[in-house]
A and B are shown apart, each in its own frame.
Chain A
Amino acid sequence: MVAIQADEPVIELKSLVKKYGDFTAVDFLSLNVYPGEIFGLLGPNGAGKTTTILMMLGLTEPTSGSVKVCGIDSTRNPIQVKRKVGYMPDDVGFYEDRTALDNLVYTAGLNRVPADEARERALRLLERVGLAEAARKRVGTFSRGMRQRLGLADVLIKQPEVIILDEPTLGIDPEGVRELLGLIRELSRKDGLTVLLSSHHLHQVQQICDRVGLFVRGKLIASGDIDTLSRQLDGAPAHRIELDVSASTGELEESLLGIEGVSSVARKEQDQLASASASNDAPVTLVVSSDTDLSADLADFIIRRGFRLYGLRPHRYGLDDIYHRYFEGGETRERLG
């Protein structure tokens, strides 16, 4: 990833501001996206993700600041930018009474692709997104997941350098999401496309993004890969291990603290949703933070002490945790800001 960042950024936003009257949708946003990476723009609804994307495409004019995509100013030369960038809006719409193939060929035509080649490309892409047998069906009969995959084909037909996907996973079932994300990752890895996707579904994005930016109320409050973010968030510990042990009194925790390198031991709160089914002798979960990886030592220690070990797993902050932590209080944001 370090190597990637050495290149010129593909998308370069500099102190971008967009105001609607008194409301500031995007507030001095600066962001770089580098060639070949998958960048996730994360944020709750109304954070200004879509507005930012529209400004990248020159569909909306920024109040101030500059947007450059592939080195071209989006505000001044939107046409040139749009030639290189494929954009899939959230809830992408198609001409319902035309076939999937017609819709793709039309898009290709708008990109000055000659008719024969357009047809060929469209068929190839439909194959790739798994819609080959539905190519001659009207889009009106498509399911949500099929539409989204057709949207991806539609984005790719102009052979873009960058693709921007706005909420690509919205409203698709889990299996569909998995397929779609797999497809996106494959595109990025195989074809070297730069992908920028916005989402508020953290788990899904987490799986495929190289870097993410957290976006709240028009501001980018943090960006980087997930490890960096979780480290930033946590302050120190590099390793956290979750242990499921047979019901313990405070004794075990005390003695665990005595091991060299362990900085803290905490009992994990019982999940509220799970509590109903949990009986008294269910194992409890302890979270052990340490500077170095102590998994083996801990297991050894617990068993020798006569406790039963049911599970041991390294704990990483998911984006969910990160998200929560960033949003729960103003002070976290200030600390990082």
Chain B
Amino acid sequence: MNAWADKLRSSIGKFRRTESEAAETVRPTPPFWVMVHKEFGDHIRSWRFVILLAIVTLACIGSIYTAVTALKAGVSQTDNPTDTRFLFLNMFTVSDGNLPNFLTFLSFLAPLIGIALGFDSVNSERNKGTLSRVLSQPVHRDDFLNAKFVAGLLLIAVVIFSLGLLVMGMGLYTIGYPPTPEEFGRVMLTLIITTVYVGLWLNLSLLFSVRFKQAATSALAGIALWIFFLVFFGMIVNLIGNATSPSDASDAASVIQHSNAMQLLSRLSPAQLFQEAASTLLLPDVRTLNPFVTQEQAYLAISAPLSLGQSLLLVWPHIVALIAETAVCFAASYVMFMRQEVRSRS
């Protein structure tokens, strides 16, 4: 009996010892997360982040103000005063005409956040001589780029979600009308899509920062592309559309074909993709994104909002396309970065 007790005690002791040993040899944080941690800290401490946050917060407050005034004036109820369905979502989409609504603000400013966080991430380290020092540590070269991306994306997610929730909270407070779970889900999904969209711009600016040695050049390139997609891309698509429109307007097949081609062209722009996806999610009344609806379809369709699942199905291709564009940018910067030689300050 005693022998057994001894054995038990010793085995317990052994167990305890291994436990304490395990506690002593805690696996240290992998270098990748050390880098992410540092990048995240750098972003948060930087002036540029504070400035960005100020701009975006101002935009949010403005959009809430305009939405609330519009709602008080009864904008959404004009056609159907008793319809209070999705009143909460109106917070994000209506405007009294003085200021753009939340969604427009977001689609306008989101790229700026991405560009601002990424444009100097690689080239400034190169110019400061820290790149060669970091890469001479036992880290994988791709970890460096991945850490930049992950830290940026994390920060973007935090910013977007806190802004979205802020708007929801303030809306709740001012209009006193609680969201249904479905509405909440729609807002959350929109915020996720926004994060992906900003991630795309982050990646683009990351690509520029790998490609261009000067931070200023890469910032300019990013902003140029932003303005291009925001302003000129639509114009160019229109121009092409006008030039190639079928001469015979009665030829239905060719008209439809042409219009499809134009839609495809305009959807190459990430801004367009984001606009369509976000507005479909926030406006459940959007039943289709196809510009051609036959009279029978329009007439026979029940005028009812789509369920969340159906809305999601409608924008699924957009989400996939956004993610694909992000992946392409990342792959490009990845390949470019892996091929570059790391010398100090050159």
Binding site for B on A (CB under 8 A): 50, 54, 57, 59-60, 79-80, 82-83, 85-97, 106-107, 109-115, 154, 158, 166
| B140 contact set on A, CB distance < 8 A | 79
Name the residue of chain A whose CB is nearest to the CB of B137.
Answer: A110
Given A79-B138, A107-B137, A111-B137: A89 and B38 interface contact (C-beta under 8 Å): no
Does B328 reach chain A (CB closer than 8 Å)? Answer: no
Segment from B22-30, B93-101, B105-113, B307-315 that makes contact with A: B22-30
Binding site for A on B (CB under 8 A): 26, 28-31, 34-35, 38, 42, 45, 125, 128-140, 341-345
Q: What 9 A-B pairs come out closest when comparing CB atoms?
A: A93-B129, A109-B34, A89-B344, A87-B136, A110-B137, A82-B138, A83-B138, A93-B128, A93-B130
| B31 contact set on A, CB distance < 8 A | 109-112
Give 4 new A-B contacts, CB below 8 A, not counting A59-B341, A82-B139, A114-B26: A60-B341, A60-B342, A93-B125, A109-B31
| B131 contact set on A, CB distance < 8 A | 93
Give Cα A110 to B147, complex, Å. Answer: 12
Minimum CB–CB distance from A223 to chain B (whole Å) comes to: 25
| B342 contact set on A, CB distance < 8 A | 54, 59-60
Given A109-B34, A154-B133: A92 and B344 interface contact (C-beta under 8 Å): yes
| B345 contact set on A, CB distance < 8 A | 91, 93
Name the residue of chain A whose CB is nearest to the CB of B35.
Answer: A110
Contact of B28 among A91, A93, A113 (CB under 8 A): A113
Give Cα A80 to B140, complex, Å. Answer: 11
Name the residue of chain A whose CB is nearest to the CB of B131.
Answer: A93
Given A87-B136, A91-B344, A114-B26: A97 and B34 interface contact (C-beta under 8 Å): no
Minimum CB–CB distance from A59 to chain B (whole Å) comes to: 5
Central interface residue in A86, A92, A113, by most chain B CB within 10 Å = A92
Minimum CB–CB distance from A63 to chain B (whole Å) comes to: 13
Minimum CB–CB distance from B144 to chain A (whole Å) comes to: 10
Central interface residue in B129, B134, B136, B343, by most chain A CB within 10 Å = B136
Minimum CB–CB distance from B41 to chain A (whole Å) comes to: 9
Minimum CB–CB distance from A304 to chain B (whole Å) comes to: 61
Minimum CB–CB distance from B227 to chain A (whole Å) comes to: 31
Evaluate contact between B128 and A96: CB separation under 8 angstroms: yes
Given A79-B138, A109-B31: A89 and B133 interface contact (C-beta under 8 Å): yes
17 contacts between A and B (CB under 8 A): A50-B344, A83-B138, A89-B132, A93-B131, A93-B133, A94-B130, A94-B133, A95-B128, A97-B45, A107-B133, A109-B29, A109-B31, A110-B31, A110-B35, A110-B139, A111-B31, A158-B138
Name the residue of chain B whose CB is nearest to the CB of A95.
Answer: B130
Evaluate contact between B134 and A110: CB separation under 8 angstroms: yes
| A94 contact set on B, CB distance < 8 A | 128, 130, 133
Evaluate contact between B130 and A158: CB separation under 8 angstroms: no
Evaluate contact between A106 and B38: CB separation under 8 angstroms: yes
| B341 contact set on A, CB distance < 8 A | 54, 59-60
| B138 contact set on A, CB distance < 8 A | 79-80, 82-83, 110-112, 158
Name the residue of chain A whose CB is nearest to the CB of B38.
Answer: A106
Evaluate contact between B34 and A110: CB separation under 8 angstroms: yes
Give Cα A89 to B345, complex, Å. Answer: 10
| B28 contact set on A, CB distance < 8 A | 109, 112-115
| B29 contact set on A, CB distance < 8 A | 109, 112, 115
Minimum CB–CB distance from A25 to chain B (whole Å) comes to: 11
Give Cα A166 to B131, complex, Å. Answer: 15
Minimum CB–CB distance from A291 to chain B (whole Å) comes to: 48
| B136 contact set on A, CB distance < 8 A | 57, 59, 82, 85-87, 89
| A87 contact set on B, CB distance < 8 A | 133, 136
| A111 contact set on B, CB distance < 8 A | 31, 137-138
Name the residue of chain B whose CB is nearest to the CB of A154.
Answer: B133
Give Cα A97 to B128, complex, Å. Answer: 12
| B26 contact set on A, CB distance < 8 A | 114
Give Cα A85 to B135, complex, Å. Answer: 12
Give Cα A83 to B138, complex, Å. Answer: 5
Minimum CB–CB distance from A156 to chain B (whole Å) comes to: 13
Given A97-B45, A112-B30: A89 and B129 interface contact (C-beta under 8 Å): yes
| A166 contact set on B, CB distance < 8 A | 344
Give Cα A82 to B42, complex, Å. Answer: 25
Give Cα A112 to B35, complex, Å. Answer: 12
Minimum CB–CB distance from B50 to chain A (whole Å) comes to: 14
| A50 contact set on B, CB distance < 8 A | 343-344
| B343 contact set on A, CB distance < 8 A | 50, 54
| B130 contact set on A, CB distance < 8 A | 93-95
Name the residue of chain B whose CB is nearest to the CB of A106.
Answer: B38
Give Cα A86 to B29, complex, Å. Answer: 20
| A97 contact set on B, CB distance < 8 A | 45
Give Cα A106 to B35, complex, Å. Answer: 8
Give Cα A82 to B140, complex, Å. Answer: 10
Name the residue of chain B whose CB is nearest to the CB of A82.
Answer: B138
Minimum CB–CB distance from B185 to chain A (whole Å) comes to: 39
Give Cα A253 to B19, complex, Å. Answer: 85
Minimum CB–CB distance from B145 to chain A (whole Å) comes to: 15
Give Cα A92 to B28, complex, Å. Answer: 26
| A80 contact set on B, CB distance < 8 A | 138
Give Cα A89 to B346, complex, Å. Answer: 12
Evaluate contact between B135 and A93: CB separation under 8 angstroms: no
| A107 contact set on B, CB distance < 8 A | 133, 137
Give Cα A321 to B135, complex, Å. Answer: 38
| B344 contact set on A, CB distance < 8 A | 50, 89-93, 166
